[in-house]
Structure 1
């Protein structure tokens, strides 16, 4: 993490250059590429190599006394994990003047949200089968790695699934945004105490019904929703969220799910009766009966097709029966033509047209302090980039033949290194430095890492790489 890569404020923004930290002066800000609950995301370039990097700036904690627990959690996880289909944390920087924290990542030119929107609003046609299958396989591959290391993401949605642009990693999927992720082996307390998780359209029914405990199955429900969205170019369960309440119960979202999948029953989901909101709110959630579920008609798939079989297993009501990421990777869907490939953006069939996806829009009017200049927003266009960085959106790139992915061993992270950060020990956060970031771990966190791991069906299964049958590479 001490490789010197980082960020820099734009000219004229955030005070004079001489007042900026030394690490900040090594980089040039291009503009803002995103904004979320926890802060802003910027695109910057190294002054020396002109390579692109994504910078996530965290807002201060609500108490105003240092770095937020969300930032600590994300740093602790990303420092210990490494996988081709998980975003790479390059460096961590802190501004001691205002305790603002910056996380530097390799920049990905695309995300699934923009890819889906491009097909829906610009091209008006579906994503080709090869690209859908390759995007989904790589998403599951990264998720299998996380789950094998007992990490739940808890915020999977199209905008958090990145896709690399021009370079050696072109078309490679990266799971991003670990602000809600956490380790879940032998939890010391119910996970429901963490508050509401997962964006509503991708939230599993056990969460909506107030389940006290949940597992990695909540991620697989979200993957099912993403899979359906890749097929149809629109969210499958597009409920209206009631804002401003910590209560996970969202009646309209549940109604949207029931309309497509039918009402769950205790016969098919035995633990349903134990969920607080199913038991206490029967009048609202069982008021409308949908007796003829028709998922296949919503996603335009034949009921007996492998794609429909995989999707229906991802959207299984009972989380204990829901397919795992490891099991999904072995599904028949990935063993029939077209086979998935490492470069999801290049179809294997010569007759299929290559889609020139535009780069994510960049707002060049915003600097690191959140103030604005007179520069108008624009799309990134750069012909001087490195692997995995921004490519000119106006130029049709020359795309090569998809290359096979190297076989990925699912090595578990040692339990001690994956210990959960103890928020009670946050008092030492002021001692952070940009190079080392020594974070304290309290006694409770150490005890947490010593507990035996629970058995979870499918966890720890070794990924054998892309399907070997009829390979086209």
Structure 2
């Protein structure tokens, strides 16, 4: 990229952009594009998230600034690491650079379903879930709610010292939710529909980190069965969160919710307003155990059912889930989720996330064909799998009882965390405003590195 051939622009590129050699596009979402690049000096892979250009006069996207704010405050092994942030004042585009993860749960699940036709081994499922919960517990302990957990947002590191380590990614919908709690429904629809908690679907004006735990339950079930548990069809035309087909899919598996089991159900707007479809249609529960591949009396089933509890106040928390019996049984979860759990077990060579090499940062088209890319030392033409060498060591078990958690930067608990953030920023909105104002004071044509962590 520094020579101007990959991505166009060459010497006209800002200095910060010339330090990266572009490989291609690895994702596209509501708020922007994600690219894979290699750093010129470290020769390591970096994921660069480019936010879509703001509308004329709108400045930098508040969503982007909120993501920066939250990621600057987080430091945990199971949360994606923000490396650099850059802004291009010509078109007000913003670039976030992250450590690159070769895999995500979506591709891992799909590989088992479509290529291998067999389930993910118990050790890998348990290790992936334990690390996801560990990262989520850190976020919730610091009053951060993610609000968009799904398999494609759960990354897994490839070659290197962090091989097999889970990273929670994509904080575009995340926010701080400490008291005084404003109604979160003002933020609009959150969470991809298949992983959206029932209280969100029924129009809850206040919700908590329990919506993340429902999503984790859906992910857990998908790791076990290799298919989404509640695969509803989204009605795109409606601006409200009510999705009848998704609720129908949930009720068919878990049975019809009742005020006896979920006392606050009667207060939810769409439960009250749609008596014909929601209250009037009674469902005979086939039982969750008929849809997952674990025995009904097993610890795995018990944990899953507690994650998919209708009443968010009764739903298990991330901290409680980490102490569940499921994680105390063999095989114990390990830091490297992608190695065999015992000698002689077959190694699975997962494919790296696909990379479209026909796109570049400016939206022009390069000549290279689309292909998967690995950051490892795989031979040219065979780099799709980011191969796992057979000589990898056996997993190091995580000692669940008494295991040292990542420190919360000297914060003693959720209340202290909330107070620290309030005293530092006042509130998120004022921080966003002051930050954006500072960005816009730069002269036109400037390209600024807002900060560099690495």
Could you state the TM-score of these two structures normalised by the residue count of structure 1?
0.86
1:429 aligns with 2:439: yes
1:40 equivalent among 29, 33, 39? 33
Conserved 8 A contact 2:54-2:92: no
Greater alpha carbon shift after TM alignment, 374-383 vs 301-310 = 374-383
Cα gap change, 1:214/1:19 in structure 2, threshold over 3 Å: closer, same or farther? same
Alpha-carbon distance between aligned partners in 2 of 1:155 and 1:322, rounded to the nearest angstrom: 18
Conserved 8 A contact 2:87-2:450: no
Alpha-carbon distance between aligned partners in 2 of 1:295 and 1:82, rounded to the nearest angstrom: 36
Alpha-carbon distance between aligned partners in 1 of 2:386 and 2:179, rounded to the nearest angstrom: 51
1:328 aligns with 2:321: yes
Alpha-carbon distance between aligned partners in 2 of 1:68 and 1:135, rounded to the nearest angstrom: 32
Equivalent position of 2:113 in the other structure? 120
Conserved 8 A contact 1:9-1:29: no
User: Would you identify which runs of 4 or more consecutive aligned residues in structure 1 move more than 6 Å?
Assistant: 7-10
Deviation for aligned residue 1:396: 4.7
Equivalent position of 1:235 in the other structure? 228
Equivalent position of 2:15 in the other structure? 22
Alpha-carbon distance between aligned partners in 1 of 2:17 and 2:218, rounded to the nearest angstrom: 40
1:65 equivalent among 58, 68, 74? 58
1:408 equivalent among 402, 405, 409? 405
Q: Name the Cα RMSD after superposition.
A: 2.1
Deviation for aligned residue 1:24: 1.1
**Cα deviations by residue, 1:429-456 (Å, 9 ceiling, x for unpaired):** 3146734459xxxxxxxxxxxxxxxxxx
Alpha-carbon distance between aligned partners in 2 of 1:278 and 1:321, rounded to the nearest angstrom: 19
Alpha-carbon distance between aligned partners in 1 of 2:158 and 2:117, rounded to the nearest angstrom: 22
2:238 equivalent among 224, 241, 245? 245
Alpha-carbon distance between aligned partners in 2 of 1:228 and 1:172, rounded to the nearest angstrom: 20
Q: Is the partner of 2:448 in helix, strand or coil?
A: coil
Matches within 5 A, 1:216-365: 216-365=209-358
Greater alpha carbon shift after TM alignment, 86-95 vs 393-402 = 393-402
Deviation for aligned residue 1:165: 0.3
Deviation for aligned residue 1:383: 4.2
**Cα deviations by residue, 1:31-77 (Å, 9 ceiling, x for unpaired):** 00000000000000012332100000001224553211110000000
Conserved 8 A contact 1:10-1:28: no
Cα gap change, 1:51/1:394 in structure 2, threshold over 3 Å: closer, same or farther? closer
Alpha-carbon distance between aligned partners in 1 of 2:178 and 2:388, rounded to the nearest angstrom: 47
Cα gap change, 1:265/1:10 in structure 2, threshold over 3 Å: closer, same or farther? farther
1:11 aligns with 2:8: no
Conserved 8 A contact 2:371-2:384: no
Q: Is the partner of 1:378 in helix, strand or coil?
A: coil
Q: Is the partner of 2:342 in helix, strand or coil?
A: coil
Q: Is the partner of 1:71 in helix, strand or coil?
A: helix
Deviation for aligned residue 1:382: 4.9
Equivalent position of 1:420 in the other structure? 428
Cα gap change, 1:230/1:171 in structure 2, threshold over 3 Å: closer, same or farther? same
Greater alpha carbon shift after TM alignment, 418-427 vs 20-29 = 418-427
Cα gap change, 1:62/1:174 in structure 2, threshold over 3 Å: closer, same or farther? same
Equivalent position of 2:47 in the other structure? 54
Conserved 8 A contact 1:85-1:138: yes
Alpha-carbon distance between aligned partners in 1 of 2:142 and 2:374, rounded to the nearest angstrom: 38
Could you state the TM-score of these two structures normalised by the residue count of structure 2?
0.89
Conserved 8 A contact 2:230-2:250: yes
Q: Is the partner of 1:256 in helix, strand or coil?
A: helix
Q: Give the number of aligned pairs.
A: 427
Alpha-carbon distance between aligned partners in 2 of 1:427 and 1:96, rounded to the nearest angstrom: 13
Conserved 8 A contact 2:251-2:283: yes
Equivalent position of 2:195 in the other structure? 202
Deviation for aligned residue 1:417: 4.1
Deviation for aligned residue 1:285: 1.7
Equivalent position of 2:414 in the other structure? none
Alpha-carbon distance between aligned partners in 1 of 2:195 and 2:234, rounded to the nearest angstrom: 12
Equivalent position of 2:141 in the other structure? 148
Q: Is the partner of 2:22 in helix, strand or coil?
A: strand
Structure 1: runs of 5 or more not aligned: 1-6, 439-473
Conserved 8 A contact 1:382-1:392: no
Cα gap change, 1:297/1:178 in structure 2, threshold over 3 Å: closer, same or farther? same
Cα gap change, 1:262/1:233 in structure 2, threshold over 3 Å: closer, same or farther? same
Deviation for aligned residue 1:27: 1.4
Q: Is the partner of 1:320 in helix, strand or coil?
A: coil
Cα gap change, 1:383/1:187 in structure 2, threshold over 3 Å: closer, same or farther? same
Structure 2: runs of 5 or more not aligned: 412-416
**Cα deviations by residue, 1:62-105 (Å, 9 ceiling, x for unpaired):** 45532111100000000111000000000101112111110000
Conserved 8 A contact 1:93-1:434: yes
